[in-house]
Structure 1
């Protein structure tokens, strides 16, 4: 399977909330560089991250555009995050089911058919603005 096919399966699994399918495409020592925060190394840390994300957010990715390079080892992806903020996290606004639509991108590296790096970028101040609208009671 090419790097592009691997990455497409990874995001298809994400949109289907098939966390096991995502994890089986990761290298055991995957390097996860989220937009904010610490770098996570390894599948166990990634699994923990997915669990926290699943509790706090309901997200689907749309408008996906994939970019590859000649060595078939790196893939870039541009997409739109369509989300619901379900559970607040420390240092972030209160969650009460706010919806958001946010542009984002990721860069992935594939080695021996497995994803060895996932680096994600999005505009955190914009996301905070989108979910900080007053609650309508």
Structure 2
């Protein structure tokens, strides 16, 4: 197992435990976070704020995680299935009523100095909206 693969697996294990500090420990200080169908945020402290917003509105667990790493270990990708529950309204999205959802997702990573310095998340927002509006 490469160091990069172990890093990404540690990041997602922390996510599944709800261990936000464990996730933050995997990130570089100036991590670039590309939010699904949104903007880019810079910095570990800003990422911590994102995690707080996520914790308020969602309960999620990632399953069937597959991590892929480039030969040089500086780039990685992960594919997974999100099993979640929408707990509280999130700005610009439908009202939350405890709806459950399941959808595929993925992420792309840049690695430097044994830390994640970019994470770009993707899932199909229209699929998610259709599930929570059903």
Instruction: Check if 1:67 corresponds to 2:65.
Output: no
In structure 2, the partner of 1:92 is: 93
Report the secondary structure of 2:77's partner residue: strand
Could you list the structure 1 runs, at least 4 aligned residues long, displaced by more than 2 angstroms after superposition: none
What per-residue deviation string (whole Å, max 9, x for no partner) do you get for residues 78-115 of structure 1?
00000000011122111010000010010111101000
What per-residue deviation string (whole Å, max 9, x for no partner) do you get for residues 15-72 of structure 1?
0000000101100000000112220000111000000000000000001111111111
Report the secondary structure of 1:107's partner residue: strand
In structure 1, the partner of 2:123 is: 122
In structure 1, the partner of 2:33 is: 32
Distance 2:91 2:31 in 1: 26
Distance 2:32 2:131 in 1: 29
Distance 2:69 2:116 in 1: 14
Distance 2:93 2:73 in 1: 38
Gaps of 5+ in 1: none
Gaps of 5+ in 2: none
In structure 2, the partner of 1:2 is: 3
TM-score (normalised: structure 1): 0.94
Q: CA RMSD in A?
A: 0.9
Report how many residues are paired.
133
Instruction: Check if 1:52 corresponds to 2:53.
Output: yes
Higher CA-based Rg: 1
Report the secondary structure of 1:4's partner residue: helix
